[in-house]
Structure 1
Amino acid sequence: MDCLIRTATNADAPAISRLIIGTLRGSNAQNYSSEIIAQVEQSFSPQAIVLLLTQRQVLVATLESDIVATASLDQDIIRSVFVEPAHQGKGIGRQLMTSIQSIAIAAGLDQLRVPSSITAEGFYASLGFTKNRDALHGSERTIIMSKPLVR
């Protein structure tokens, strides 16, 4: 499925917030408790998204002008990759990750790292990321993965 991938703007913050919270509730809830989901949601209010736009390179994927996915790059760390549940498995996440990887290569990075949710570990593995270790943030488990970049 072809989508338009572009840099996010402040005007996108409410839609990005809705997308992330909806995906947390729709996809990540199968692997995390409602308490952990509620805690993570607090980091993705529209105001928090506006702040993130000043700290990271944030991309969105759109279909017919609707934001259906997002991902960001924070130095060599990929963060906040979310695809609407209705659009998962259609290649949109892969397209976003290709764009993130291109940005990283252009910036001269040698590797990418990602703190993966349990839910997304298989997705990142399919893109060539390997597991380095598990990390606990309170009771939230993430999988630290990395991938060398080839120029």
Structure 2
Amino acid sequence: MERSVECTIRLAREDDAAAISAVILRALRETNSKDYTDEIIERVGRSFSREAVLQLIGTRTVFVAVIGSRVVGTASLDGSVVRTVFVAPDVQARGIGRLLMAEIERTACARNIPSLTVPASVTAETFYARLGFNAVRDSYYGDERTIIMERVLDDPS
């Protein structure tokens, strides 16, 4: 049974970078490690240092999910590609990822983006499928498998 939680979604600020990095690294190590080797987790983790996240905030539309004053999740939109969707392990399966994705979709629709693509981890494939994304193809970066998934957005007209 999913317990929903009082959660606010807002645009990330530069001073959120350390907290976003911490959420991503915890989720990688505690959740994604079931589906990926330690080497892959460490390699991916190096891409999400505080400094790297700070750069992403400057180049993508980055959202955070906040409970109280704690950043518990993040998702970003890079053109029509959904990237870096992570929720802290202790609050997963409470609807936070769904709230983040709803904000991504609203933003995409406002920008007249017709469809979204997400390079889903093996870990997150069923999450995206439940949100209406369809697997298009597998993609490999060395031995790291991701599933490229797409969803056509509803035409608001």
TM class by shorter-chain length? Answer: over 0.9
| Deviations, residues 70-97 of structure 1 (Å, cap 9, x unaligned) | 0000000000000011111100100000
CA distance in 2, matches of 1:85, 1:14: 17
How far off is 1:54 after superposition?
1.1
Equivalent pairs, count: 151
Corresponding residue number in structure 2 for 1:2: 6
- What is the deviation of 1:138? 0.8
**TM-score between the two structures when normalised by the length of structure 1:** 0.99
The 1-side partners of 2:6 and 2:81 are apart by 25
RMSD of aligned Cα (Å): 0.5
4+ long deviations beyond 3 Å: none
Pick from 114, 119, 128 the counterpart of residue 118 of structure 2: 114
Runs of 5+ unmatched residues, structure 2: none
1:1-151 alignment runs, 5 A limit = 1-150=5-154, 151=156
Instruction: Name the amino acid aligned to 1:121.
Output: E
Q: TM-score, normalised by structure 2?
A: 0.95
1:135, 1:2 → 2: CA distance? 36
1:2-34, Cα deviation, whole Å (9 max, x unpaired)? 301000011000000011000000000000000
CA shift for structure 1 position 63: 0.3
Deviations 1:47-76 (A, max 9, x none): 000100111000000001100000000000
Sequence identity (%):
48
Q: What letter corresponds to residue 133 of structure 2 in structure 1?
A: F
Instruction: Check whether the contact 1:83–1:93 (CA below 8 A) recurs between aligned residues.
Output: yes
In structure 2, what is the Cα distance between the partners aligned to 1:131 and 1:51?
29
